[in-house]
Amino acid sequence: MLFNSIHFLLFLPVVLAAYAMLRHRGQNRMLLIASYVFYGWWDERFLFLIALSTVVDYWCGLMIGRSRLTGRQRMVASSWLTLSALCFVTINWSAIRFGGSEGISVDWSSLFDPLGVWALGGALGLVAIANLFHRLVTRLDEDRRRKLGLWTSIIANLTVLGIFKYFNFFVGSAEDALQGLGVDAQLMRLDIVLPVGISFYTFQTMCYSIDIYRRKLMPTDRFLDFALYVAYFPQLVAGPIERPNELLPRLQNPRHFELVQIQRGLFLILLGLFKKVAIADGVAVCVNSVYNSTGTASALDIVAATVLFCVQVYCDFSAYSDIARGVSKLLGIDLVTNFRVPFFSRSPAEYWQRWHISLSTWLRDYLFMPLVFLDPRRRIYLALIITMLLSGLWHGAAWNFVLWGGFHGLLLAVHTIYRNRVPILNPDQAISRWSLVAGIALFFTINCYSLLLFRAGSFAQIFDFTTAIVTGAGGIHLSMKLPSLSAALGIPLLFALDMIEYSTGDALAYRRFPAWCRGALYAFLIFIIIMGTGNEPTEFIYFQF
């Protein structure tokens, strides 16, 4: 279900109305159901993977932190996984028809999906094995039991992610490598669809087990609260990636509502729709006209399309985070800030403190720090590059994403070397205003090229576009489609809002505007959003990650 769809426009008021009428525990149960409906709207089969991740990490968390599960905890977790397999992948609900002269009719020949039956058998087998070995695991000494629980969580999550996101990618890469050696190989591929948001909730569930192992968190006994933590619908599909020590307490404790929180939530939703509908969708056609073209693009076309892609990916991704945070505020639950005017960065280190903050801090805490821990002085540069290479692979199963990650890894390594030698690279050193502007402009240019690597469809396109930019091929001829009017009006307004936030260091600076100015701002945002409804709707870019 898309935030900018009519379905969500109908879904959200129903959820808010039911939420307002229930007490705390009832609110959580309703939110869990709503989250499963929200995610299952794409494909109900995806819900089985969320249920699997939920059960595995709930079980592992208790094994790490409490040594054993009670009989009731094992029964609840086992039942949840079994029923999820039955309801979401085994039964073919399209075989059941409601209405008509016969009332309810069932096509028994297609009621059970053959692959779903295997999934149900696998779920039952997993439940049986887990319960069988539970007593044996509890007899292990504490250190072995904790490590076993941790590695079970990590391996299970990465296995599911690897199969659904990377299996065909690595098989295809192996075929290409063998063909390069003169071997005509046709390896097995899986006919599977990439589940929406799988990278986000996989990282979110893994850090639960890791934090328990690091003794930074105690496992929760409440299975349904943990299931809500995993599936919480506002940030489920494209983040921000929430930490368990932050989101779980907010879910487990009663919420208190204040008018200012509701106002802030509504503004974030308005701002997110403005970014997505008016700007991101308004420039998408321009970017696609160059990057999806099979013809020859001029250097000016490539530069303009790349700069507009920077605008598109920022508005598209930050829009999702803004709407997610806004919807969550209406529920009385705060989510972390994921963007802080990233294109005003003057160095790669500052950029990753402003862009996709929840992912960059996750990679820092759970990947970079363990890599560099043993030998900080010698391993820091290698750790930076490895971390960013894996960040690129996290973004997508394609080598251009890996190249993009490696590019940023090298930038971070070079920045680390020269940080204290070049004042413009060190945010702790005071510099002149013109030096600041020059630093921001320089890094924006470098970052634009990195996003060319990110957006390109192949290495050949990267080479052709880079060559065209360097040589000036095609001159100043511009054949790219122009942005829509909503984007042309919206980009300067967004730049002004980001400039105010950057100069004041306060995302709430707009609240200090005079009442008439705030009213004019809200009215103009709504006007441009209505104008942007004429743009061709596009799916959020980060849904593919």
* pLDDT tens digits, one per residue of 42-89: 888 889 999 999 999 999 999 998 878 888 889 999 999 999 998 888
- Pick the catalytic residue from 24, 356, 395, 408: 395
Q: b/e for 493-530, b at 16 or more Cβ within 10 A?
A: bbeebbebbbeeeebeebeeeeeeeeeebeeebeebbe
Q: Residue 239: which region, alpha, beta or left (left: phi > 0; alpha: psi -120 to 50)?
A: left
CA 383 to chain centroid, in Å, comes to: 23
pLDDT tens, 508-520? 888 888 889 999 9
Spatial CA neighbour of 40 closest among 254, 175, 243, 197? 197
CA 174 to chain centroid, in Å, comes to: 28
The whole-number pLDDT of residue 105 equals: 72
The whole-number pLDDT of residue 43 equals: 82
The whole-number pLDDT of residue 260 equals: 87
The Cα 41–Cα 164 span in angstroms is 19
DSSP state at residue 221: S
The Cα 496–Cα 404 span in angstroms is 29
What does the block give as tokens for 210?
């890791």
The whole-number pLDDT of residue 433 equals: 80
How much is the average pLDDT of 174-183?
69
β-bridge partners, 104: 98
Answer whether 7's CB lies under 8 Å from 41's CB: yes
The Cα 314–Cα 356 span in angstroms is 10
The whole-number pLDDT of residue 41 equals: 86
Query: Is the predicted pLDDT of residue 237 greater than 90, yes or no?
Result: no
Catalytic residue list contains 395: yes
Query: Is the predicted pLDDT of residue 248 greater than 60, yes or no?
Result: yes
DSSP state at residue 353: T
- The sign of the dihedral angle between the CA atoms of 397, 320, 197, 54 is positive
pLDDT tens, 90-120? 887 777 776 655 567 777 777 777 777 888 8
Euclidean distance between the first and the last CA atom of the chain, given in angstroms as a whole number: 16
The whole-number pLDDT of residue 307 equals: 95
Encoded amino acid at 260, one letter: V
**Domain chopping of the chain, boundaries:** 6-98+106-252, 259-340+473-544
Residue 432 banded pLDDT, cuts 50, 70, 90: confident
